[in-house]
Amino acid sequence: MTATPPDPDPDRTPGVSADLQPGETPPDSGSTTEGLSEPQRYPSRTVPIVTLVFVAVAVLCVIGFTIVSLLGIVKIF
């Protein structure tokens, strides 16, 4: 199934010219909001924030363990 372009091609649409006859109307353009019955809710921001905090803590732990290992304070490997 191919999607129709938002604006019809005037060369391929009958009756679309400067000399429209009475009662003849050009086709309407497509709409991206047509068919929405109610406003859409925004998704929660909790999961991305928790994920970023978890990744930041993990990176800081890896950096900390690397520094401690390089200084020879604790032998990890």
Residue pLDDT, tens place only, 67-76: 888 888 766 5
pTM: 0.45
Q: Give percent of the chain above pLDDT 90.
A: 25
Residue 38 lies in a domain: no
With respect to residue 36, please indicate whether it lies within any of the assigned structural domains.
no
Residue 50 resides in a domain: yes
Domains held by the chain: number:
1
For residue 66, pLDDT beyond 60: yes
Exposure b/e, 23-59, CB count within 10 A at least 16 = b: eeeeeeeeeeeeeeeeeeeeeeeeeeeeeeeeeeeee
Residue 35 in any domain: the answer is no
**Domain annotation covers residue 70:** yes
DSSP letters spanning 59-71 = HHHHHHHHHHHHH
So what's the pLDDT on residue 59? Answer: 98
- Between these two residues, 26 and 39, which has the higher pLDDT value? 39
- 60 lies in which domain range? 44-76
Nearest residue to 27 via CA among 49, 9, 48: 9
Of 29, 4, 24, the C-alpha closest to 14 is: 24
